[in-house]
Structure 1
Amino acid sequence: MKIEKRWIVSFIVISVVAIAGLFWQPSPDTPEVLSQFGTTDQINAADVAWMLTASCLVLLMTPGLSFFYGGMVGKKNVISTMLQSFICLGVVTLIWIVVGFSLAFGEPLGFYIDGQFYSVIGNPLSFPFFDHVGVLPHLKMASSIPFLLFALFQMKFAIITPAIITGSFAERVRFISYLLFICLFTLLIYAPLCHSVWHPNGILGTYFGVKDFAGGTVVHMSAGFAALAGALVLGKRKNSSHIPTNIPFVLLGTGMLWFGWFGFNAGSTLAANGTAALAFATTTTASAAAMLTWIFFERLNGRKVSALGACVGAVVGLVAITPAAGYVTIPQSIFFGFITAIVSNKVLNAKIMKKIDDTLDVFACHGIGGIMGMILTAIFAQGENASLLHGGWGVFSHHMMALVLVSVFTFVGSLILFKVTNVFIPLRVSEEAEQQGLDLSQHDESLDQHKAEPVGILNLIHEKP
């Protein structure tokens, strides 16, 4: 069997990373480095317990997403679609440890505006291989939990973001080219955006005052616009109509996502406190409101109430409340879910979206949900001069400017990355492979796969007389 060079290169890369990790020598703890950290006495046991739990919950969301997406596609592409989400647990984890966390939360690199320093990305040499990422709390980013726990919690966000994108080009993407794309996306789109919003010196969080409690901008807008770019670059499927294979998979995935989202949003407080409880409450309330709004709105438009629609509506509500989970009241979260479900539904069913083969409507759900969440956060966020309704006219205008910047950066940036990926490895499978289905053509597996021939002692048990 002839092995393609791209797979040889991939194996060499993982080999180099593994060997480098074996011989990696941490840099010395200089006074400058030590000054960033507190002592173990400052660690709060309750916060640690909650953040360990929250990190597990967020990790669960990626397998949940794989079931959510896997149940929606055609029978020939269930395994490949689920694997595209699941593989992010491996790829992004290693990227994050080696250099991704440094790019997102490392020493700020940027420029001065009116004497104030603002950064756009972290120094890749700050925390390579989690250097200096240990049990001590970081005074500016995570003052009551080990810095290592903060890094692991943030890693789960980085994992699920490229996984969300996969729904837009399901049933037609080449697996190895997809792996290259998610590496480039994590390093060049996600990490800079994460740094700009959540790092203490990040330009979007400080200069523009962007409020993103748990990732509406960083995760869902970036994934939504990248998904739109991917759908445009890869083009339409040869057969763009399919019957979802397994609605129970979609229901299971939605339940796992909803469950995990409590860690996603409530965990973003980085503490076991009242704000975490508020985020927990607004998260489930917005999702409940969006789910009901979606199915009622579908019925008003002459479509039957469906389990698939209820699941999509619930996820849209979760997306919408994410940037505002700890900033708004519970009654306001009902409106977040309600209005976002209507807008997202209208976009999903718009004629222009029908011309774009976004297989699982990622942009309409995550992109539009993230946009609506960002706008509504800028209108309703609590606190003096925190939003439009609380005297923060400047905050609102800056949010709108940031919305445009993020949209352009993530869409154009992803478009370029898809094009670059396609130069090195064709993104789209052949027409024959697409017709056969990606499960068989890419992975030699299928839902109808017969049991493998028994081996060893089993040969004797199953041997015909």
Structure 2
Amino acid sequence: MDENYYGDIKTFLRIGLVLLSRMGFMLVQIGTIPIQNVYRIVFFNVFEIGLAIISYVTIGYMFTYGEHSLAGILGYTSSPFNITSNITDQIIFGLSGVLLGSAELSCFTIGRIHLVASFIVSLLYCMLYQPMLAHWIDREDGWMRNNTLFDKKVEIKDYAGNMVVHLSSSLMGAIGAAFLGRRLMRLKDLDERSIAREYSALTVIGYLLVLIGYAAFSLPTNQYVRTPDNYIAFIVLNICTAFATGVLLTSLLNIFIARRILNYWSVLRCFQGGIAGVISIAAATDIYNVPRSAGVAAVAALFFFFFAILVHNTLLEDNCNLISSHLVASIVGTIACPIVAKKENLGGREKGTHLLWQFICLLVVLATTIVYSWLLFLLLSCCKLLRNKDEALNHRRAVAVAKYLPRKSCLQRLFMIDSKTDHIAPGDGDRSKYLNEL
């Protein structure tokens, strides 16, 4: 009997570890996002997981893996809701991408957005938008995957969802955060379980689970055929190298430039730098070697560190640093891929052509995501469905006092803490010291 008669074990590992990483995202969100009711984060994650799975396996998969293609833009099938065994592994791969992308998107809006708005945003992302991008990039008949430029055959290189998952979700979330705008909370109203004492360790565990989920998503599918055969170990080695490079370089930058390392937020930034390194090699994890993985991850970590400081001093609330670790790292990785990679059709005399095509596809994905997200969040805002009740109150507070506040970093501005007070963090046993500031 064929050893694959019962299916590919990598499919089980992928979806199982990606679901585990969703728990990691929940721990990260609880440990980094201040919220007045921490159970709102738990509920939204459980709700979103169920919504993502149902919406994708009933409708979303057809837009990616439908038997027909509409000009390489959108897939469709003549027999909907009929999943055949020959595409189940692909559907699990697409579902894993949807689960990761929706988690990254929710890091910007969770606890702030209205339940109805959360339903609409997640449903459209999982059922339509990401499946459409996946059809462009992952399907053989997608227009980005199979095209010509200057009479030369070109194709986008995006092995592990660099643009399909990480770039699209983080950019969409950043636009949602921009629409939500500033907020101001009173510390005495903050749930004691939100960024509570025990979350120093739990947030670190959350990031490790996220890393495991990204590694599982990068496993080759059963349609992936290469020589040598041991590409699983090859890919995992590249991911470990990129993560270690990002952590190490971010730690050194924290020590020698920021001169702050032994506090909660600086330690988390080191882990986020490692995640940025992993995201940066996602486009070509399968064809990089260890030195190239380390080099691309080092460049991404540099961009991450300085963009994190920049974003931290803007009005955008991005406590999980996804703009720097995912959006910026995705852009770096997409451009680096045809420059650094030496295999497939990405090297040699046609390198310039493939670099141009990669850049064109990047611009198209960026522009499409910006337009789509801006229209969606504008509609929700006009319909008064964007913010939940607590968020609406916190936003009105922030708008009312904005003209009286000096320029401050994100958490200082969020809680009106003075410049001598460190950011609220796990381990603060007594929060009464902050209350006199309010």
Contact 1:275 1:326 in 2 (8 A): yes
Query: Counterpart of 2:430?
Result: none
- Which letter does structure 1 place at the counterpart of 2:182? K
CA change 1:79–1:369 in 2 (3 A) is farther
Identity %: 21
Measure the CA separation in 2 of the matches of 1:94 and 1:148: 15
CA change 1:188–1:97 in 2 (3 A) is closer
In the alignment, is residue 262 of structure 1 matched against residue 215 of structure 2? yes
Contact 1:172 1:237 in 2 (8 A): no
Q: 2:169 aligns with which of 209, 217, 223?
A: 223
Query: Counterpart of 1:331?
Result: 291
Contact 1:220 1:369 in 2 (8 A): no
Measure the CA separation in 2 of the matches of 1:266 and 1:432: 39
Q: 2:370 aligns with which of 411, 418, 438?
A: 411
Contact 2:137 2:143 in 1 (8 A): yes
Contact 1:283 1:325 in 2 (8 A): yes
Measure the CA separation in 1 of the matches of 2:312 and 2:68: 41
How high is the TM-score relative to the length of structure 2? 0.78
Q: After TM superposition, give the deviation of residue 316 of structure 1 in Å.
A: 1.3
Q: 1:288 aligns with which of 244, 251, 254?
A: 244
Q: After TM superposition, give the deviation of residue 385 of structure 1 in Å.
A: 3.6
Query: Counterpart of 1:321?
Result: 281
Q: 1:63 aligns with which of 15, 23, 27?
A: 23
Cα deviation, 1:341-361, whole Å, max 9, x if unaligned, reads 110111111168623233433
Query: Counterpart of 1:134?
Result: 84
Cα deviation, 1:380-423, whole Å, max 9, x if unaligned, reads 12325414x77421000111111111111112111112223344
Q: How does 1:304-453 map to 2 (within 5 A)?
A: 304-305=260-261, 306-350=266-310, 354-383=314-343, 385-387=345-347, 391-424=350-383, 426-431=385-390
CA change 1:425–1:149 in 2 (3 A) is farther
Q: 1:206 aligns with which of 121, 143, 146?
A: 146
Measure the CA separation in 2 of the matches of 1:358 and 1:209: 33
Cα deviation, 1:53-83, whole Å, max 9, x if unaligned, reads 2221222221211112221122634332343
Contact 1:107 1:122 in 2 (8 A): yes
Measure the CA separation in 1 of the matches of 2:7 and 2:350: 33
Cα deviation, 1:290-312, whole Å, max 9, x if unaligned, reads 01111111222233223212221
Q: 1:159 aligns with which of 95, 99, 103?
A: 99
Q: 2:112 aligns with which of 136, 152, 172?
A: 172
CA change 1:232–1:351 in 2 (3 A) is closer
SS of the equivalent of 1:109 reads strand
Query: Counterpart of 1:150?
Result: 90
Measure the CA separation in 2 of the matches of 1:104 and 1:343: 32
Contact 1:108 1:120 in 2 (8 A): no
Structure 2 spans left out of the alignment, 5+ residues? 148-153, 396-438
Cα deviation, 1:5-48, whole Å, max 9, x if unaligned, reads xxxxxxxxxxxxxxxxxxxxxxxxxxxxxxxxxxx96x735971
Contact 1:234 1:427 in 2 (8 A): yes
CA change 1:173–1:304 in 2 (3 A) is same
How high is the TM-score relative to the length of structure 1? 0.74
SS of the equivalent of 2:73 reads strand
Query: Counterpart of 1:442?
Result: none
Cα deviation, 1:110-134, whole Å, max 9, x if unaligned, reads 33xxxxxxx01111x44633x0x23
SS of the equivalent of 2:218 reads helix
Q: After TM superposition, give the deviation of residue 179 of structure 1 in Å.
A: 1.2
Query: Counterpart of 1:456?
Result: none
SS of the equivalent of 1:52 reads helix
In the alignment, is residue 121 of structure 1 matched against residue 82 of structure 2? no
Count residues in correspondence: 375
